[in-house]
Structure 1
Amino acid sequence: MQPDPSPTSPALAFSDEWWGEYSRLTEEAMALDPADRPAWLACLAPHLAPLRDALVTFLRELDAVQTGGYLETPAALSTGAAPRHSERVAGQRIGPYTLLRALGAGGMGEVWLAQRADGAYQREVALKLPHAHLLAGSVRERFLRERDILARLAHPHIARFYDAGLDDSGQPYIALEAVHGQPITHWAREHTLGLAERLDLFAQVTDAVAHAHGRLVAHRDLKPANVLVSAQGVRLLDFGIAKLLADGTAGDTALTRADALLATPAYAAPEQTAGGTVTVATDVYALGVLLFELLTGTTPHAVLKSSGLAAGDLLASNCATPALATEAGSTPKAWRQRLRGDLDAILAKALATAPDARYASVADLAADLRRHRADKPIQARRITAWTRLAKVVRRRRTAVVMAALLCASLVAGLAGVLWQAREAQAQARRAEAVKAFLLSVYRANDPRIASDTPRGQISAKALLDASVGRIDSAFAADVKLRIELLRTAADIYRELGDEASFETLQARQLALVREHFGPLHDNILDDAVERAARAAARADTRCGALLQQADDLLRVARRDSGPLRGHWWMARSICLRQQAGTEAERHTALKAARQAFADAPATERGRVTVLMELATEASHAGRHADAVALNRQALQQAEANPERDDAEVQTIHGNIALTLQQSGDLAGAEAAFAISAAIAERTTGADARQAWVPAAKRARTAHLAGGRERALTAFDAVLARLPPEAANDSDAQQVREDWAERLSAEGRPLLAIPVLESVERAYLRAPPNDFALRRLRRHLGDAYARAGQASDARRVFTAALAEFEARDVPGSQATAAARERWGRFLLAQGDVVGAQAQFTTVVERAGERRWSHAALAHAGLARVALAAGRTDDAAKHADTAWTTWGQKQGFFDIRMEPYLQRVRAAVLAAQGQAAAAQALRDEALAASRRYDAPEAPSAQRLLHLDL
């Protein structure tokens, strides 16, 4: 009986009465040779016309299955790539599981990462789901049989079977271990595994297959995509077309024949493609193909197709590609020599055309490989006495080698001395060239030589400027060294903020790389990813296009994993911040980045950077404790790095400080900013741009906490360090913004406005990050409002609030701050209704969170109630504002407290409590005189509530 289709599945273009006929025709089509199917379809009887479109779709999907297995893209389980189309959606419930994200899809069905949702236990699984419109006839039987087969198997190298069943709509599912790995051939290539390590991996595969055979299960679709490797070792997947070796029923015979056709042709045994009997020997043949590919980088099928050789003439030692040998840390010649002999013979036996000529079991194949590695005679061939003697010698190599060393030492020693002499000469020539170049660099500072600039006062940058033009001529004979010096000089210019010089040198070194080493050299790939990352960090709208260009290069270079791909994922996460509603995608990208760095060495900086980016995401979401914890974890890794980067350590301390500031720990934030500034001053110097921002942030934090005098003194010091040429520097602009925002906050808006307007123009040209412009506009609107420039304030406030609503995390404190300040402005302009709407929205969205801006919003509502003569309502809101302030969470400015006191005083006065009101006004005035500028209205007796 046909099950009800899934609510999200595409409807088939025929009515229910045709299901029986459709099932019969799909069975018939599966038994045909793929080449015969178009003619079969064309010859369908006229009365079957209503089924034609559905059969066309089925045959297209069947072709995908027969070339790719259950999934159209099996590697999706390791890469996390989403399928092109899904008939289900994340968050959908299938039985006791909630779908998280699609891992892959093909003609037979889909695989989703899912999580147990009924509370029985916590576990992520790979949930295998057949397409609803195929759940008839043998497809359902095949799926149910796979469930029964998997239930028999329990082995550390076979993906674990957890659960199976039907959901309420009749949708079958199988829950398997979620394996996050790479196909075995990809893993070997990415990790540059040598021969011994490849054979170690293959031994895990044979163990798994032997276990399955011991449970009377033949896999029948062994290929790299179904053998994934991670740090935990090998996992064998996808028993979708497996066969029970002991099952010989008639019904199974038809299913077996159809399943045999579903095997991947390049890995299928001859009897399998011919529709013959499937035995243990079928898997032995597929293992032979897998081993062949693992050792040569290609398959026997591909070699035979391109060479025209017969299967019996094929030897692995003649097929090993130079690229694979290099990847495995060997030379093509040495690699072929290691494959010749035993491994050739083992492969020839495993790949024999006749099943009887192959190994009798997988255990026998594994045993022969162990004998080979132990230098013992193998079963795969008869060997001569000389060969046997050679193996005996290898097994007792210590004694033989000691004797042979005496004879070979003179020859080897002489060869070694000659080689070392040549190498030493080459190194000496290189060292002399570098020495001569460095001497010429510093000769510009020689006091004995006349110059426009006094000797001893020429900066390091000036020396660099005078020298980089000679790198090409000085190292014309050493291309690699020339490239390295140009790249290093370019990086230095970038750190110094000289973008023009960076671009010039970068272009020169990349041109050399392309000319001498091709378009897929690491420098080319690094540059593509770095450009995308820099564009993302600047909120440049081109970051998406640059990411796509980098992705194309990485895919061509087969760099779908590893640190470089990790940096790409991080850049994608940052780029996505420009788009609203992408929080889940950003987090997924950062998880992929963290996974890409999992096996990287301790010196790989991406391992630290990804933690910093995860911390930033947590901070944006208001999870300040998580952000601090992630940053402290990043700090620990950065300080443990053997190649410690103090600039990175400085940045992390600054990030911790910002998060502490946003969480309301101003004392902790100021201390962390002090550490960041001190590191910058020790490394780059107090006058360098790297030291400006942490010093200014420390001053701003002190001002927020009420330390006005020391904050202004610190601001004066850092502003004095900004050179005239830094007018367009993004760090200098951030310093000026912080300073001017504090001038406005303490009651000097007329001084702040020109500075903030200048910074706005700079951010419009090149914003330092995606949130800088809306933050700046909130500060500029506040300054306009304080200065009485109502039309300018209205224009800037509305632009800032619109951007906060569109770009920030929904319900963020930053958005609440912008909305509450807009409400206060409206109240000062006499728009009581508009102000009330803004204050109410802030309070409702804050919910139970005790934000300082929620306290301000309640104070605003108290003022609205006073204006309407509702004294009791005003008192309730004023009390709530004061209680919220006393329990405040998140960012605050100490200057908010006197404002709240003045609101309470106004309520007390309205209630007739004149003395209590005056006492509170006096207290507020004393605080404002401590915190604000002497000329500020708040520091005078002019205690207006619209300030």
Structure 2
Amino acid sequence: MTPDRWRRVSRLFDAAADIDVQDRSAYLDREVRAPDGGPDPALRAEVERLLDLDGDAGDGVPVYGDGLSLPPPERAGPWRLVERVGEGGMGEVWRAERADGAYRAEAAVKLVRPGLAPDLVARFRAERHVLARLDHPAIARLLDGGTASDGRPYLALGYVRGEPITDYCDRRQLGVAERLALFGEVCQAVAYAHRMLVVHRDIKPSNVLVEETPGADSAGAASGGGAASETSGGGAGRVKLLDFGIAKLLDEAAPFTAPVTAADRRVMTPQYAAPEQVRGEDATTATDVYGLGALLYELLTGRRPYAADGRTRAAVERAVLEATPPEPSVTTAEGGAEARAAARSTDPARLRRRLRGDLDRIVLKALRKEPERRYDGPAALARDLERHLAGLPVEARPDSVSYRARSFVRRHRQGVAATAAGVVLVAALVTGYTLRLSSARAEAEAERAASDATVDFLIGLFEEGDPLEARGDTATVYDLLDRGTAQVRAAFADHPRERGRLQVALARIHRNLGDFGRADSLYRAAGALAPTGTPLWTEAHLGLASVLKIRGDYDGAERVYRRAFAAAPPENRLHALGGLANVLRLQGDLAASDSLYALVLDARRTDGDSAHLSTDLHNVGVLRADLGRPDEGARALREALRIKEQALGPDHLHTALTLNSLAVVEQDRGRPAQAEALYRRALAVYRTHHGEAHDDVAAVRNNLGALAQEQGDLDGALREYRAALGTWRTTLGDSHPYVAIALVNIGSAYHDGGRYADAERYYQDALARDRASLGDDHVEVGVDWALLGALYHDAGRDADAEAAFREAARRFDAAYPPGHPDAVGARVGLARALDRQGRRAEVPAALRGVPPAPPGLDDETARELVRLRL
């Protein structure tokens, strides 16, 4: 077949594959014509043969050539062919025995397919040059090569009685960790090939075999060999990577260079091919990263990234180019999940929890459409899996569920906390803010023992009004505080040490009451009365840092914590280190925070300091959830809850704090029933202590609204959001930042319900409040504009979306460095609005300043960016 004829066959095949089966015959009657305009039966037969082969989108590549059938040769060099064990698009694989008497050995002999096009024969010959460069225990070793007795090229590789890695793992019911260990061997083999300047380009289960060592169960025969990898299933598995038959040398200066695959020939396996392969572009090391991602997806889930059973090759290729594979954990809710989970020695619920978080993110990062957004190479992918197995933060970051500007809200939870004087936690898939004053109020220091009887008496008097100690009897709290403040000024004017201790006690109570301004002033006054590094100075600075953190001044809190850690006596340094770790978490430096907390927890456990251990465990739980490890977060929070319930009782406010944070994590883990039960318990405690009209009660009701919205109960969500809004307006005042948060939540519920006019009204209200309280150029005002931009886009109001995204982009560009996901997202929203208005000439200007491959984008935004640039 000539190249021109093949191009015509390929074009007709691609077009026919996209047509319904019942309509193909008419299409072929019309289009398959000879140069004189008459029918071309031979051409039609070739196209129909390819369509038949394509019917199940099988693993092999199309058979290129004239379909000749020849008997096998008697010999291939010194090898006698015994039985055919495999067949691919380019040739046959035979089990062979050494026949020249030099030594006894078996080999897998690969013969070129009869009638293969001349340039593909050259490619087959090139495989010998590629394999000759590779000497790795997990790569099939080249024994020799040459020309068989019938003139066909051949090569001989070490023969292994192995089976595809997916079959091997399923038959032995290997768990996730064991599968990852075997997969790590594969990554190392591919990384070695890349170091030798060779790309595989066809990584799939049938090219990754596992051979069992003697003593294990026998397996079917295939070609390959392997590197040892211990498993718990009894015996060892040796991995071998096979078939560099379509590999391409990267070293352009090499004395021999394999012919480049013609784009129209698309020599690949569609289900495992990277998008650039489908488009006919050059393969790179990133192509193999994609193939590894597809293999890992199947190892973990038992299905391929794109559920395309029974679909045509063209449909599979469209999915590779356009569709986003579901997160691996999501597949545990599909049909056949029980059997697939059983093959992994677990059940669907446990498998979902095991895959959710790190593994979801790692797999989808390897499978990203854009090569530059995947891992840098197989070694980087293997390192991230090792970090996951070691419980360390991974490089992969989560993608948003869809391109909605409301994803800005999720990323701005720390910024919202700065304006709301609290910590904002956002539940998964919820479009609004989910408020929680999480760990800030959990850091009250134990009261110092008083040496002076008068001071002891006064501190005890003040603490009668502390809401964390008074068990709900706070009717006289403000009277007590006013009286205590007056007594401090009058009775201790000449006693700075006692006055400082009393001011610390007063500051702590004001902090727990939510009067952060007075708490700030009292802590600063107390700290000024004591020499640096003394217990009183340390206590005042730790208290001041906690207030700064609650108020959202994370930079100020970090400075004070660092100062306290440097100057404090040894017994107080852990408190400062734990506080610093929490601030780093709020600033977004999650890896540094996690490392510090590991030190703090070890020291707390060694010291047996259960009171502070529970606080640090609470904060670690929230951190681990932020890191995408909700299972670990839940474990830490449950341990904190157990300690608090034993030490403080089930009805203490500190216990309720952890109940609520645990509920948020359980919500993120996809366990709404457990989350709701925990929210209800926390709500009951808060109501017992505070009654209905308290900001803690409102915060939990706001969280319940977010849970209802996540489950599609928009009426229930609105009911809870409105209750929170009413309480905050009553207790905190109409201008408090919490009010704007509740307004955004209500607007988001209307947005989800398609009530765009109502959503706009609430979003606009929140925008006006944020502009008044924060200033027109504040980044949170940009968030409000982005929300409106998304709303206008959904409502089909492209001109309004354009204006809103321009406002958002202006604020984000001023606040963030180039390439920040929020800034890029706003500019993509702007460009899309222009595109939908037919103003495509203005799109490049809208995207000016956006880097070629900005990190951290969700998949839909990244795809939209590529589309708009094209």
Q: Per chain length, whose mean CA-contact separation is higher, i.e. which structure has more relative contact order (CA < 8 Å, sep 6+)?
A: 2
Tell me, yes or no, whether TM beats 0.5.
no
TM-score tier, shorter chain, comes to 0.3 to 0.5
TM-score by length of 2: 0.39
* Larger-gyration structure (1/2): 1
Which is helix-richer, 1 or 2? 1
TM-score by length of 1: 0.36
